[in-house]
Amino acid sequence: MALSSATVNRAAAPLRRTALAIGISLAVAACGPVTATRGNLVDNDRLDQIQVGQSNANDIFALLGTPTSVSTFDSRTWYYIGERTEQVAFFDPNITERRVLMIRFDEVGTVTELAELGPEDAIEVDPVGRETPTLGRQITILEQLLGNVGRFTEGGP
Instruction: Give residue-wise pLDDT tens across range 84-110.
Output: 999 987 889 999 999 999 999 999 999
Angle at alpha carbon of residue 41, lines to 39 and 43, rounded to 5°? 160
String of DSSP letters for 33-49: EEEEEEE----HHHHHT
In 3D space, the residue among 31, 149, 143, 11 whose CA is nearest the CA of residue 87 turns out to be: 31
pLDDT of 113 strictly over 70: yes
In 3D space, the residue among 99, 141, 93, 139 whose CA is nearest the CA of residue 119 turns out to be: 99
Q: What's the pLDDT tens digit per position in 13-67? A: 677 788 777 877 766 666 778 899 999 999 999 999 999 999 999 999 999 999 9
Round to whole Å and give the CA distance between 110 and 106.
Answer: 6
Ranges of each domain in the chain: 30-122
Output phi, psi for 60, to 5 deg: -65, -45
**Segment (H or E) for 58:** helix 57-64
DSSP code at position 121: G
Round to whole Å and give the CA distance between 44 and 34.
Answer: 24
The answer to whether the beta carbons of residues 64 and 40 sit under 8 Å apart is yes
